[in-house]
Structure 1
Amino acid sequence: MLDHTGIVVTDLEAARRFYDAIAEPLGLATKSMAPEFFLLGKSQEESLPYLWIGTLIPSYWIEGSKPGINQMHVAFRADSKATVKAFYDAALEAGGRDNGPPGPREQFGYYGAFVLDPDGNNIEAVYRGPDANED
């Protein structure tokens, strides 16, 4: 559905550690593009769709915008509840903060986990299988 989206971070090194860590359990990869940004996508070769992550200030930002003020929510697909748990564990180990542990999200019909990245962006992994509403 998406082609790309992006977030601005304050510490690219901390962001890279975090997104490298969550990429593995989700079957994704990060790709270096320039000293100021990297991409998170399907693989090194197939980066579309992607999440752009960098320190450059976007031309579309309105006056007063800055990293950590305009938090974003990004949900990644997971292929199992175990993948959601692995995402959550990797995120916390890489400097993320808990924003909702792995479990059923019955009101939405999926199993998911929420973490905050180093800049406070809400990052989620979602599993939508037949056993999603079971713990």
Structure 2
Amino acid sequence: MIDHVSIQVRDLVASVAFYEEVLEPLGYRRLAERPGCVGFGLKYPEFWLNARPDSPRAAPDTGAHVCLRARSTDAVTEFHRRAVAKGGADDGAPGLRQATMVEYFAAFIRDLDGNRIEAMTVPAATA
């Protein structure tokens, strides 16, 4: 089981502002702040931003992404809408997708540094 994840960002202040807005529909909020990093989560910091001002933008073909669970399809849609409105890029519009074992509702974005972030919910599990 995974406890938390960290991503690198070039401008911590800008990224914190982006994620405060984008993660709010998922129930995430800023819970921890240390020199060079900020943690977001529901009850404890699960998603960390680490300042790496000299790092390159994330390459689009790394295959890596972080998926965050949402409580509803509306939350997934709002996550995506806010991300695009705040300067992120659409990398997969909100909609149903078929996984190996379940149908789920998800959206993908690229943040200000090109990190691929997904929000998802399993509609049958939230009904």
Q: TM-score, normalised by structure 1?
A: 0.78
Q: In structure 2, what is the Cα distance between the partners aligned to 1:37 and 1:67?
A: 17
Which shifted more, 123-132 or 15-24?
A: 123-132
Alpha-carbon contact 1:37-1:56 (below 8 Å) kept? no
Q: In structure 2, what is the Cα distance between the partners aligned to 1:34 and 1:67?
A: 22
- Runs of 5+ consecutive residues of structure 2 not aligned to the other structure: none
Q: In structure 1, what is the Cα distance between the partners aligned to 2:83 and 2:33?
A: 22
Deviation for aligned residue 1:56: 4.8
SS in 1 for 2:57: coil
SS in 2 for 1:120: coil
Q: In structure 2, what is the Cα distance between the partners aligned to 1:2 and 1:32?
A: 19
Deviation for aligned residue 1:27: 0.7
Q: In structure 2, what is the Cα distance between the partners aligned to 1:19 and 1:114?
A: 14
Q: Larger Cα Rg: Structure 1 or Structure 2?
A: 1
Which shifted more, 30-39 or 88-97?
A: 30-39
Alpha-carbon contact 2:10-2:52 (below 8 Å) kept? no
Alpha-carbon contact 2:32-2:40 (below 8 Å) kept? no
SS in 1 for 2:13: helix
Q: Following TM superposition, where does structure 1 have runs of at least 4 consecutive aligned residues deviating by more than 6 angstroms?
A: none
Alpha-carbon contact 2:88-2:111 (below 8 Å) kept? yes
1:76 maps to 2:68: yes
Alpha-carbon contact 2:58-2:115 (below 8 Å) kept? no
SS in 2 for 1:17: helix
Q: In structure 1, what is the Cα distance between the partners aligned to 2:125 and 2:32?
A: 37
Q: In structure 1, what is the Cα distance between the partners aligned to 2:57 and 2:35?
A: 20
Sequence identity percentage: 36
For this pair of structures, how many residues does the alignment match? 121
Question: Of 35, 40, 44, which aligns to 1:47?
Answer: 44
SS in 2 for 1:25: helix
Q: Deviations over 1:68-93 (max 9, x none)?
A: 24664111111111111111111112
Partner of 1:102: 94
Question: Which structure has more helix as a fraction of its residues?
Answer: 2
Partner of 2:112: 118
What value does the CA root-mean-square deviation take over the aligned residues? 2.4
